[in-house]
Amino acid sequence: MNTFCYGYHVGYKFIATDTGECNGNFLGIGADDCNRAVLVEQSAQCALLIANAEFTSFHGPDPTMVEVGPAHHGVVRFSNSAFWGPCNQIAKIAGEGTVGFSDCTFVQWGRDGDRAAIQASSGTVLIRGCEFRLNKPHISLGEAVHCAVVSGNIFKGAPQITSPPRANLQIGLNAGY
């Protein structure tokens, strides 16, 4: 299943309704030529799983592949997925939930400036086994991030990870080339 969202549209939007929050396994999805390929306002605690996906975002004032909103308290996991196109950032993460990226390829970001590919302002973040294909800021963690694990990734250049002093951050087994 592919979504084509030309212009300023959102490819996939996950919200809470009166009947509950989204969970499930989304396999092989894609959103092309978007402003936001994936917008997560809310997901269930038992997880929203997105695997083998392909996303591009390059339209609008702040093209972003994945945006997780400040009300989010569930779990979102991206695995074995590819992100490309001249966006500003791969992910902007907020909320109290958990967001994970595993075995993903991040091809382009930083179209308008030197923003990090993944920017987390709060919540819990897992980034494992991913490839960052640009020598630009890779990961930026904010003061309200509960904890983060960044392990087993490959970075173009030395890993560029910023976090506040005394952050609950575990970094290991990463390589730069």
Q: How far apart are CA 120 and CA 11, in angstroms?
A: 21
Both tokens of residue 108? 């382009």
- CB burial of 100-124 (b: ≥16 within 10 Å; e: otherwise) equals bbbbbebbbbbeeeebbbbbbbbbb
At 6 the pLDDT is 53
At 170 the pLDDT is 97
Range of lowest pLDDT (9-13, 63-67, 138-142, 150-154)? 9-13
* Res. 61 pLDDT band, cuts 50 70 90: confident
Query: Could you tell me the CA-to-CA distances from 133 to 30, 82, 83, 138, 140 in Å, in that order?
Result: 20, 11, 10, 10, 16
At 5 the pLDDT is 55
Q: Looking at residues 86-110, what average pLDDT do you find?
A: 97
At 33 the pLDDT is 86
Q: Looking at residues 10-37, what average pLDDT do you find?
A: 92
Both tokens of residue 19? 């009947």
At 59 the pLDDT is 85
Q: Residue 111: give the domain boundaries.
A: 2-176
Domain total in the chain: 1
Q: Looking at residues 101-116, what average pLDDT do you find?
A: 95
Query: Which CATH number fits the domain that encloses residue 10?
Result: 2.160.20
- Residue-by-residue DSSP string for 55-99: EEE--SSS-EEEEE-TT--SEEEEES-EEESS-SEEEEE-SSSEE
